[in-house]
Amino acid sequence: MPTLNLPVAGRKLAPYTMQPPREFPAAAPPFDRIAYAAAHVVADPLADGDPWLDAAIDWECTVGFRRHLWSLGLGVAEAMDTAQRGMGLDWPTSLELIRRSLEAARDFPGALIGCGAGTDQLEMNGRASLDDVIRAYEEQCDAIEKLGGRIVLMASRALVKAARSPDDYAKVYGRILGAVKAPVIIHWLGEMFDPALEGYWGHKDHHKAMEVAVDIIAGHAEKVDGVKVSLLDKDKEIAMRRRLPQGVRMYTGDDFNYAELIAGDAQGYSDALLGIFDVIAPAAAAALGALTRGDGKTFHAILAPTVPLSRHIFKAPTRFYKTGVVFMAYLNGLQDHFSLVGGQESARSTLHLAELFRLADAAGLLADAARAAARMRCVLATRGIEA
């Protein structure tokens, strides 16, 4: 197996010998849990534009990655924050991404796909009113429904600025939920993922915010398939899960504690809509297959080694997790370069990437050791390290 000199603390290098990758058994739905992977986009590094300003997408590779996820039996959550939505990917490009993904999904009978609807077209317009927020949500929801897509109702930065009380959230969500044609997934994205969303639902205290969200959901339960909670706090998610109206699902967005939350307890479980499933897709599908067979021991045995990797990728500042997601896709040959929309390949340190490599290898997630080692050496060389 390859040995590399990887950076460690103190500006030193230490030899690291890779281990053989794990063989994950193939699995196919239906699973006992609904599972969406929030999928990243593949930037086009050869586009003639400014990476910080222009969202240049390699459409063929981006759609190909979605085909990879569907082939494993996972659903795709499209145009979410993992795809750098509102963090380099604008609404017109997001809509084109949604259109292409919905078209590709037709090749996979029964494929799950949820499509992010938000208000990001308002972000360059200064402070928006509540009516502006409603119109922006309506525009995106209408566009997705015309394409035949299922809506994931994303949290709105503009709403945080416009709202003066929890009642304003009830007004906006009431209008949107009253108008959509089919039940949606509501996404509560915490401030650790996006600092601009601090105080969502009208409270900085998550428990008070939860009260508002649950009341809104209960008032429109027939239009809510579920709620995705991304707070990285399993106790808060479980508390909210136990308060949801019957028939409304909890989709875990907890990239720290997903195995425990998906497995559940005597009072229920969480389904999944996770950015880390982009990274660990073969392991996630195999684990879900084991859980469906009633083999909880194998489920935990597969996922346990992935948790340290996930916690590293999603460590604070959590909003930079996309760098690790794309780095893993590059190491595994799912794209040919380590470039991100907005130039965010620079958002994590060399030490961070080296530790990510070690943790991914320890979890058996580097499918081809020789290729992963060669690509790791290329990245380190650009940062002045001969590995």
364-370 mean pLDDT: 97
152-163 mean pLDDT: 97
Question: Scanning the structure block, which residue is given the tokens 């136990």?
Answer: 242
Burial of 384 (0-12, 13-18, 19+ CB in 10 A): exposed
DSSP annotation of 128 reads P
pLDDT, tens digit, 9 for 90 and up, residues 330-347: 999 999 999 999 999 999
Contact 116, 77 (CB under 8 A): yes
**Residue 315: per-residue pLDDT:** 97
- In whole angstroms, what separates CA 61 from the centre of its chain? 18
230 confidence band (pLDDT: 50, 70, 90): very high
Q: Which residues pair with 268 in a beta bridge?
A: 265
Q: 263-271 — which CB contacts under 8 Å span 24+ positions?
A: 263/291, 263/296, 263/299, 263/300, 265/238, 267/242, 268/241, 268/242, 269/33, 270/33, 270/237, 270/241, 271/33, 271/34, 271/35, 271/226
pLDDT at 26 over 90: no
pLDDT, tens digit, 9 for 90 and up, residues 303-319: 999 999 999 999 999 99
Average pLDDT value over all residues in the chain: 96
Helices of type H across the chain: 59-71, 91-105, 130-146, 157-162, 166-179, 206-219, 234-241, 258-263, 276-279, 281-292, 296-303, 306-313, 321-331, 350-362, 369-382
User: What is the percent of the chain with per-residue pLDDT over 90, rounded to a whole number?
Assistant: 94
pLDDT, tens digit, 9 for 90 and up, residues 349-359: 999 999 999 99
3 state SS of 47: coil
50 confidence band (pLDDT: 50, 70, 90): confident
**Residue 125: per-residue pLDDT:** 66
127 confidence band (pLDDT: 50, 70, 90): confident
**Beta strand pairing status for 3-8 and 12-17?**
antiparallel
204-224 mean pLDDT: 98
Domains of the chain by start residue, with CATH: 32-304 (3.20.20.70)
3 state SS of 32: coil
382 confidence band (pLDDT: 50, 70, 90): very high
pLDDT, tens digit, 9 for 90 and up, residues 51-67: 888 889 999 999 999 99
pLDDT at 37 over 80: yes
274-302 mean pLDDT: 97
**Residue 53: per-residue pLDDT:** 84
pLDDT at 126 over 80: no
pLDDT at 123 over 80: no
pLDDT at 124 over 70: no
Backbone φ/ψ region at 72: left (φ over 0), alpha (ψ -120 to 50), beta = alpha
Q: Which residue has the higher pLDDT, 17 or 125?
A: 17
For the ranges 24-28, 64-68, 135-139, 271-275, the lowest mean pLDDT is seen at 24-28
78-96 mean pLDDT: 95
- Say what the pTM is: 0.96
Closest to 251 in 3D by CA, of 149, 179, 183:
183
261 confidence band (pLDDT: 50, 70, 90): very high
pLDDT at 49 over 90: no
Q: Identify the sign of the CA torsion 311, 317, 319, 322.
A: negative
